[in-house]
Structure 1
């Protein structure tokens, strides 16, 4: 549930968003890295975040993920959600963000970027709306324009989705399967 006292500036910025970009580790997951005995990687994604991302897409907002790490699990989850803008192994997230804006013919003010660590800051500071999950690194939380109440991997992305939908008058649209 969104706070009822959202600042007017945040709502104005959110109303303009056409692209929502999310980091993976620490935003769509809790940031912990799990490895099985065979060396394979495990990640846990919250179903509420995925449902929110599907609702964003149904409302016409593009979604992208930009992550510095590469993981087959991320490819699988994003495919399940129908997200086509998936950038893995991108240490220079700002360059990737700029490339994405150009490809989609959008201005930085048309984009929201949600990140949790210092590697996300250059892109966050370029975006029209920067958001940090509640458990983001303190340096990042201080510099984000808005912070979620929920932690990464525990509903933070859903909060972002709900904020954008609410600001655009689309929060009450029916959910899609």
Structure 2
């Protein structure tokens, strides 16, 4: 959405980075969710995902940008959400997210500059440091925000991933056509 207020003042260098993205990678807890861990009486975990983020991820895929999830934790709700969104690259239980990203880039024959990494906390710093576009969500730890190329205005689990998706599509000239499709 070219006139979206949260994208109106994106620096030119960030747009240039976003223009070359072919793989967008997302952390889960604190990025695709608000970071809170919910456990029921039976010990089962529950997570809440924002529908706007889901559509953003689908839009990236529809426009030729591959989507991946790299999470340090293992969670059945994440697997279910990824399946629902048809995300082929899902890596859970990854203590070394940087190595995981490098292996994925190698498998996809992409350069680090062609990847975006969206995260919120310290385990996300190593992959963010090699990604062509490092995005921190609004409620990211200050050390993470300080090293990001761009920071969303919304927090994790509250539409931040959608903002990152919209930024990439805007930079690649795909937002206007996409907006017209929904009129």
Q: Are 2:2 and 1:10 equivalent residues in the alignment? A: no
Partner of residue 85, structure 2: 81
* Alpha-carbon distance between aligned partners in 2 of 1:140 and 1:77, rounded to the nearest angstrom: 26
Write out aligned runs for 1:27-176 (5 A): 27-172=31-176, 173=178, 174=181
* Alpha-carbon distance between aligned partners in 2 of 1:68 and 1:31, rounded to the nearest angstrom: 13
Deviates most, 26-35 or 165-174:
165-174
Q: Secondary structure at the residue paired with 1:82? A: coil
* Alpha-carbon distance between aligned partners in 1 of 2:8 and 2:78, rounded to the nearest angstrom: 33
Alignment RMSD (CA, Å): 0.8
Q: Would you say how many aligned residue pairs link Structure 1 and Structure 2?
A: 175
Q: Where do 4+ consecutive residues of structure 1 move more than 6 Å?
A: none
**Structure 2 gaps, min length 5:** none
Q: Secondary structure at the residue paired with 1:99? A: helix
Q: Secondary structure at the residue paired with 1:158? A: helix
State TM-score, norm by structure 2. Answer: 0.94
How much has 1:5 moved relative to structure 2? 1.4
Q: Secondary structure at the residue paired with 1:63? A: strand
How much has 1:3 moved relative to structure 2? 2.6
| Contact 2:7–2:167 under 8 Å retained in 1 | no
